Amino acid sequence: MSTYDEPEPTHRSESTSPPDDAVQVLDTDGTLLPGAQRPALTDQALLEMYEELVLARRFDERATGLQRQGRIDTYAPMRGQEGSQVATSFALDDEDWLVPTYRDHAAKHAHGRSYEALLTHLSGYREGYAVPDDVNALPEYIPIGTQVPQAMGLAWGFTMQDPHDRAVLCHFGDGATSTGDFHEGLNFASVYDVPTIFVCNNNQWAISTPFEAQTATETIVEKADAYGVEGVRVDGTDPLAVYAVTRAAVEKAKHPAEGERRPTLIESCQYRLGAHSTADDPSAYRSEDDGEDWEDQDPIERLERYLYHEGILDDDLADEIADRVEDCLATAIDRAEATETDPTRMFEHVYEEPTDRLREQLADLDGLRERHGDDAFAEVGE
């Protein structure tokens, strides 16, 4: 072992700002970059996107606060990543499907999930995972990378039934690209040429592991070549750029040109400004100034400046939006906190019909509850 030249451990991400080669539409000051075009979005749609972003940022702040007060369980913050989440969902049609991770709160909301439902499962009620019939989204994925082949299968099934009907957008992080499931899923998607948009939210950190220690390639997007999938790298803090590349990928997925492959891998370059989760302390593995440059890349401010420049947004309208956002969140929190559940719910949905043994276990539990009351179940005696 002494012959091995030991490398120094990597303590900081080398990615201090979004890469130059990523697709951008807006400059950080909110002006259109030379040669860039405003995506085909109406003023109204742009305002809706802006409101969704403001709502996402405030949700993130409120959820983090609620966790600190012990009112919800572990929460995965998304500060700095809202722009990409909202823009990718805006690029989907209602009939398209979203396959989100545990950090994609804003992506889920922008595709139809309510923040009330998100807060319900964050409050410890599995009821919050139930997706309404009119929203095409799967419950969030916590194990890393597992959703990639599943999203491919979902898209595969859709093409078997109607080749131009629906696209599937699958989110994952940079860490997920190290898992076997990522590679297997992309390979299948390409081999069977299915309408899947794989969005790698490269936020530079998998808990404490910086991008440079996750993979020896320069980018995630270059991995697309190995599978015959189109790869696009985009500035994930530029909502209009993310919208444009995702919309193009959705169009191609559903209506490919002659000889064009349907799947796309989008590397959306972002930075996880906060902790991995409320149970994580980033000061153990990164310095305070790490990611400083990304702070200036705030997706919300970027779009906001653009809307002001264009005369689409003014102070009065911004105040109106801010008020609406606060009302929306206050209602969501009140409703989530009023959720009621019952231990019998544990036994539901394990199978379509409970097995005899499950019925027996439920009857035993009910008997104990009747004799002793629910308070007796607290972990006394530890």
Partner 1 sequence: MSTAADPSESADDDTVEVEPDVAADAIDLDTYDGPTESLSLVEAVRDGLGLELARDDSVLVLGEDVGTNGGVFRATEHLQDEFGPHRVIDTPLAESAIVGSSIGLAISGMRPVAEMQFMGFASPAYDQLVSHAARMRSRSHGQYTLPMVVRMPYGGGIAAPEHHSESREAALVHEPGLKVVTPSTPADAKGLVAAAIRDPDPVIVLEPKRLYRAFREDVPEESYTVPIGEASIRRAGDDLSLFTWGASTQPALAVAEDLAAENGLDVEVVDLRSLSPLDVDTIAESVQKTGRAVVVHEAPKSAGVGAEIVATINEEALYHLEAPVTRVTGFDTPVPLSTLEDFYLPQALRIREGVLETVEA
Q: Which residues contact 58 (CB under 8 A, 6 or more apart)?
A: 325, 326, 329
Q: Which two tokens stand for residue 94?
A: 């209602």
Rounded Cα distance between 356 and 188, Å, is: 40
The maximal CA–CA distance of the chain, rounded, in angstroms, is 74
Tell me how crowded residue 215 is: count the other CB atoms within 10 A of its CB. 15
Token pair of 363 as six digits: 């009857």
Tell me which stretch binds partner 1 (CB under 8 A): 56-64, 143-151, 194-202, 227-235.
143-151
If the CB atoms of residues 32 and 368 are measured against partner 1, the closer one turns out to be 368
Between CA 147 and CA 171 the distance in angstroms is 8
3-state secondary structure 215-227: CCCCCCCCHHHHH
Sign of CA dihedral 84, 286, 211, 25: positive
Query: Other CB atoms closer than 10 Å to residue 125's CB: what's the count?
Result: 17
279 binds partner 1 per the rule CB under 8 A: yes
Q: x/- string (CB under 8 A) for partner 1, residues 312-331?
A: --------------------
Query: Segment contacting partner 1 (CB under 8 A): 196-204, 249-257, 314-322, 342-350?
Result: 342-350
Q: How far is the CB of 23 from partner 1 (least distance, A)?
A: 26
**Of 18-26, 230-238, 289-297, 337-345, which part binds partner 1 (CB under 8 A)?**
337-345
Residue 131 in the binding site for partner 1 (CB under 8 A): no
- Annotated catalytic residue within 111, 233, 247, 272: 272
The reply on whether position 288 binds partner 1 by CB under 8 A is no
- Tell me which residues in 45-104 interact with partner 1 (CB under 8 A): 73-74, 102
Among 96, 104, 181, 290, binds partner 1 (CB under 8 A): 181
Residue 376 interacting with partner 1 (CB under 8 A): yes
Confirm if 307 and 47 have CB atoms less than 8 A apart.
yes
Q: SS3 sequence, 44-55?
A: HHHHHHHHHHHH
Does 338 interact with partner 1 (rule: CB under 8 A)? no
**Which amino acid does the sequence have at 302?**
R
Closer residue to partner 1 in complex, CB, 158/211:
211
Task: Based on the shown chain and the rule CB under 8 A, indicate whether residue 178 belongs to the binding site for partner 1.
Answer: yes
Closest CA to 23 of 174, 218, 242, 229: 242
CA 232 to each of CA 175, 197, 219, 235, 267: distance values in angstroms, whole numbers, following the listed order: 18, 11, 11, 10, 6
User: Smaller CB distance to partner 1: residue 58 or 286?
Assistant: 286
Per-residue binding letters, 185-224, with partner 1 (x by CB under 8 A): ---------------------xxxx---xxx---------
Catalytic residue among 262, 285, 302, 305: 285
Is 255 near partner 1 (CB under 8 A)?
no
Q: Give the H or E element holding residue 370.
A: helix 356-372
Residues that bind partner 1 (CB under 8 A): 1, 4, 6-11, 73-74, 102, 121, 123-126, 142-145, 175-176, 178-181, 206-209, 213-215, 279-280, 284-285, 341, 343, 345-347, 350, 355, 357-358, 361, 365, 368, 372, 374, 376-382
Active-site residue numbers? 272, 276, 285
